Chain A
Amino acid sequence: MMRLRPRSLLIAALAGLLAGCAGKVPITTTIPDPLVEALPLTVGVVYESDFSQYTYTEKATGTDWSINLGDSTTRMFDRVLSKAFAKVVQLDAVPSEGQTEAGVDLVLKPSVDEYAFLTPEDSGVDFYSVSIRFQLQAFGPNGVPLDQWDINSYGRTRSKALSAKDSLGAATDLALRDAAATMALDFKQRPQIRALLPAGSGT
C-alpha cells in the first residue's frame, strides 16, 4: 500500500494551488441562430487542426494565460454557416487543383490570424478587451482561389464585474459573437460569392 509522507502532501497541495493560479480562460460562447436569408449555395468548409485546436498562450501581468478558442470558433462557424447557406458539408481539405468536389458550390477555409487582449493594467481603463482577426479563404469546387478577406472582431467587459479569467473569457465570448454577427452579413456582400448565385435567386 502506498504511503504518503507529509512532504509529498505539501508538494501536491502546492502544485494544486499553482495549477489553480494559472490563467486558463473559460470560453462559453453561445451564438444564436442568425436571422438571415440563406444563400442558395452548398458550401464545403475545411477546419484545419490549426483552427479547430487553436489555443492562445501568453505570459502577461504575472499570469500564464491560456485561451482555448478552437472548440468555440468551430461551433461559431458551424452555427453561422448553417444559416447563411442552404447546405453545409465538412471537408477534410481544400480540393487540390485538377480535382473537383462534387455537389459543392463553394469551399471556405477559416483561420485565426490574430488574437490579442488588453487588461485594465495594460490599457488604463476599467475594461478587459479582446480583439480577434479571422481570415476567410474562399475557393471554387475545383480548388481555385476565389476570395480572401479578414473579419475583425472586438469584445470587452468591465473588470469589476468578474475575476480576471472570467472577465477575459466574457470579453472573448463577446468578440466571437461580434465576429459571428459580421460574418452572418458578410457573405451576401462578397462579389465573388454573389457571382455564384443562380440567376434570379433574388438575394
Chain B
Amino acid sequence: MRKLRVVVRRLGAGVVSFVTACMVAGCVTARLEESRQSTATSSIQAGEAVVLLTRHQSNARETERSFANCVVDDLGSGADALSTKSEQEFMDGLFPWFEPRVAPTTAEQLPKLLAQPGVAQRISDSGVRYVIWIDGETQTVDGGGTISCDLLGFGCVGFQWWQRDSSYEASIWDLKTGTAAGIISADVSGTSYMPAIVIPIPLIARTKAAACHGLAKQLKDFLVLAPSVE
C-alpha cells in the first residue's frame, strides 16, 4: 500500500492560517489549508502545464465559471506564472474520458484511465502534467435589514447586510506519476453592508475574489516552490 504522508503547512510559515482583513469594503475572514499527499511530487518543470477542471457531478452545487476563470487567470499571470491549458481544449482532446459521467473521481482511478488506448499519449502531447480539480461555490448564508426608497422624495433610508461564504477545494493530480499530489482548500467568509442615507452605499466583502486569489497563490507555491517530501 502506498504510504501517504500528509503535510499541513500554514500559509506563510505555520500550520493553519487565519487572515482577517476588515477593510473599507467589508470584513473578510480567510482560511487556507494545504495537504501534500504524494511522496513523489516535484516542482513543475519547463514545458509542463496545468489544467483546471471543474466538477459537474453534484446536483445541488456547481463551481461558478467566473471563479474557475479567475483562478486560471491568476495562475497564468505574474512573475511566477504557470503554463495553463484550457479546460475545454483538454476535455475535447481527451473526450470522453474527462466528461462528468466518465471522469475519474479519485486519483486511485488514474492508472486505469492512463492505461486506456491513446490516453497517456494524448496527455503527453498536450503537455499537461497536473490536473487541478476545483470544487465548491459561493453562497449567501445569512442576511437582514431593509432599505426604503422614495420617501417623500428624500431618497433611500435603511440598512441591509448579508454574509457570504466562499468555500473551494483544489485537488491536484500528477498525471506523470498517476497519483494525488495534494489538496488545497480556501474558506472565505465575509459580511457586506449597505447603509442608505439618501443613497445606498454598498460596502461589499469580496469573498469569492479573496478565495480565488488565495487559492491561486497557494497553488503556485505548491507547484513551483514546494520541495519534494521524502
Interface residues of A (CB under 8 A from B): 31-37, 125, 127, 156, 158, 161, 177-178, 180-182, 184-185
Contacts A158-B64, A182-B101 known; 10 new A-B pairs at CB < 8 A: A31-B95, A34-B95, A36-B117, A37-B117, A125-B60, A158-B65, A178-B99, A178-B100, A181-B95, A182-B102
User: Any chain A CB within 8 A of the CB of B93?
Assistant: yes
Q: Is the CB of A35 within 8 A of B119?
A: yes
- Please report which residues of chain B, range 96-112, place their CB below 8 angstroms from some CB of chain A when the two chains form the complex: 96-97, 99-102
A32, B100: Cβ atoms closer than 8 Å: no
- A33→B99 contact, CB < 8 A: no
Residue B73, interface by CB 8 Å: no
User: Which residues from B are CB-within-8-Å of A180?
Assistant: 95-96
Contact status A32-B95, CB under 8 Å: yes
Per the bound structure, the CA–CA distance linking A160 and B118 in Å amounts to 38
Give A178 to B95 CA distance when docked, in angstroms. 10
**Chain B residues near A184 (CB-CB < 8 A):** 95-96
- Distance to closest chain B CB from A96 (angstroms): 35
Tell me the B residues contacting A by CB distance below 8 Å.
60, 62, 64-65, 91-97, 99-102, 116-119, 122
Contact A185:B95 (CB < 8 A) given known A35-B119, A161-B65 = no
Overall SS of chain B's interface:
loop
Minimum Cβ distance to chain A for residue B215 (Å): 20
Taking a contact as CB atoms under 8 Å apart, the answer to whether B62 and A185 are in contact is no
- The listed residue with most A CB atoms (<10 A of its CB), out of B96, B99, B117, B118, is B96
* Complex contacts, A182 vs chain B, CB 8 Å: 96, 101-102
> Which residues of A sit under 8 angstroms from B60, Cβ to Cβ?
125
Contact indicator B93/A181 (Cβ below 8 Å): no
Complex Cα gap A103–B117 (Å): 27
Q: Is the CB of B96 within 8 A of A185?
A: yes
Closest to B65 in A: A161
CA distance A33 to B62 in the complex (A): 26
Q: Are B101 and A32 in contact (CB under 8 A)?
A: no
Alpha-carbon separation in the docked complex, A62 to B95 (Å): 37
On chain B, the residues within 8 Å of A158 by CB distance are 62, 64-65
Nearest Cβ on chain A to B173's Cβ, whole angstroms: 18
Distance of A179 Cα from B168 Cα, bound (Å): 29
B residues within 8 A CB of A161? Answer: 65
State the CA gap A178–B91 with chains docked (Å).
Answer: 12
Query: Complex formed: what's the CA distance from A161 to B99 in Å?
Result: 21
CA distance A181 to B91 in the complex (A): 11
Measured CB to CB, the nearest residue on chain A to B102 is A181
A161–B62 CA distance with the chains assembled, in angstroms = 13
Determine the distance from Cα of A184 to Cα of B101 in the docked complex, in whole angstroms: 12
In whole angstroms, how far apart are the Cα atoms of A97 and B95 in the complex?
37
Subset of 28 A-B contacts with CB under 8 Å: A31-B95, A32-B93, A34-B96, A35-B93, A35-B95, A35-B96, A35-B97, A35-B116, A35-B118, A37-B117, A37-B118, A125-B60, A127-B62, A156-B62, A158-B62, A161-B65, A178-B99, A180-B95, A180-B96, A181-B95, A181-B99, A181-B101, A181-B102, A182-B101, A182-B102, A184-B96, A185-B96, A185-B102
